[in-house]
Amino acid sequence: MPRIQVVPLLEIVRETPSTTTYRFRADFAEQPGQFLMVWIPRYDELPMALSYLGGVKGITVRDYGDATHALAAFNAGDRIGVRGPYGNAFRLVGERILAVGGGSGMASMIAAIEAFAQQGARVVTAVGAKTAEELLFVDRANASGEVHIATDDGSRGFHGFAPPLAEKLMDREAFDQILTCGPERMMKAVVDLARKRSVPVQASLERYMKCGIGICDACSLDTKLVCWDGPIFTAEQLDGSEDFGRFRRDKSGRRVPV
């Protein structure tokens, strides 16, 4: 069984006003799209995607609650606990890739975008955010291919959400694999677009988790678990889902809207 590793933070980088990257070394091998359970001592333990792989790993975290807010005040040298990696990885198949990311969802996909580029695939990334300053990993995506931008307020690029921008891109050229991560309703729209065009799609889902290893059932999605069967699901796996894009479980296990 993987055990928790307590690691010092080596470098902390503010990516956008609401998201920060924390870099650390840890003794495990990971693949693009996998996640860790990250212990913020005295506050919480949360599932987080790896945004940097390899020797100096990284997580990129949006400040959205007490624990992530506490983490935002951590300094280099402060320690966190990490266990994992857990879950499946993006399948790196295809030559012409469209990646559709919304907000901090880019953190889960960026390693896969880079891995696809490294193996010679053409990668087009549609990055969406509320505002221009909240756009995440545009430079890294640019270094791996072509980037198109959408902002909710129109402060940069396409004025609107990422899915309609993605649809324009799909109309313009043929892709043989689509990746998506972001707000679930956005992903639902992307999955529906991909399905309509019969293009394989991989969506990286997020759920509240207590354990990350298949005990607590908090990340239940129909009869699947995001920690075990995911976090990455294909359109076929999401077909007929009553939960995807609609419901999640809260801390008590009640089914609530996403």
Partner 1 sequence: MVDLRTEIAGVKLRNPTMLASGFLDETGGSMARVYQAGAGAVVTKSVGPEPREGYPNPTIVELDAGLLNAVGLPNPGIVEYEHEVKRALAADAVVIGSVYGKDADEYAQVAARMATYGVKAIELNLSCPHAKGLGTEIAQHEDAVRDFTRAVKDVVDLPVFPKLSPNVQDIVTFAIAAEEGGADGIVAINTLKAMAITPELKMPSLANRYGGLSGPAIRPIGVRAVYDICEKVHIPVVGVGGIGSGRDALEYIMAGATAVQVGTAIISKGLGIFDEIAKEMASLLEEAGFGSVPEAIGVAHA
Looking at the Cβ atoms of 226 and 235, the one nearer to partner 1 is 226
User: Which residue's structure tokens are 């529906």?
Assistant: 192
Q: Three-state DSSP class for 7?
A: strand
222 interacts with partner 1 by CB under 8 A:
yes
Instruction: Determine the Cα angle at 116 with ends 202 and 104, to 5°.
Output: 55
Instruction: Determine the Cα angle at 150 with ends 144 and 227, to 5°.
Output: 65
Among 55, 75, 240, 254, binds partner 1 (CB under 8 A): 254
The helix (run of H) or strand (run of E) holding residue 23 is strand 19-24
Among 17, 65, 154, 253, binds partner 1 (CB under 8 A): 253
Residues 166-205, mask of contacts with partner 1 (x by CB under 8 A)? ----------------------------------------
Looking at the Cβ atoms of 14 and 69, the one nearer to partner 1 is 69
Question: Using an 8 Å Cβ cutoff, are 174 and 153 in contact?
Answer: no
Strands 96-102 and 177-181, how do they pair?
Answer: parallel
From the list 56-64, 94-102, 125-133, 218-226, the region that binds partner 1 by CB under 8 A is: 218-226
223 interacts with partner 1 by CB under 8 A:
yes
From the list 104-112, 114-122, 184-192, 245-253, the region that binds partner 1 by CB under 8 A is: 245-253
248 interacts with partner 1 by CB under 8 A:
no
Among 210, 234, 237, 258, binds partner 1 (CB under 8 A): 210
Helices 184-196 and 162-172, interaxial angle, to 10°? 20
| Cα dihedral 129, 135, 138, 141 sign | negative
- Pairwise CA distance, residues 240 & 238, whole Å: 6
Question: Residue 91 is encoded by which pair of tokens?
Answer: 């399948």
Looking at the Cβ atoms of 43 and 158, the one nearer to partner 1 is 43
User: Which positions ≥6 away from 100 have C-beta within 8 Å?
Assistant: 125, 126, 128, 162, 163, 166, 178, 179, 180, 182, 186, 190
258 interacts with partner 1 by CB under 8 A:
no
Among 225, 226, 235, 238, binds partner 1 (CB under 8 A): 225
28 interacts with partner 1 by CB under 8 A:
no
Smallest separation, CB 252 to partner 1 (Å): 4
76 interacts with partner 1 by CB under 8 A:
no
Contacts with partner 1 by CB under 8 A lie at 1-4, 6, 37, 39, 41-46, 79, 81, 83, 210-211, 213-218, 220, 222-225, 249-255
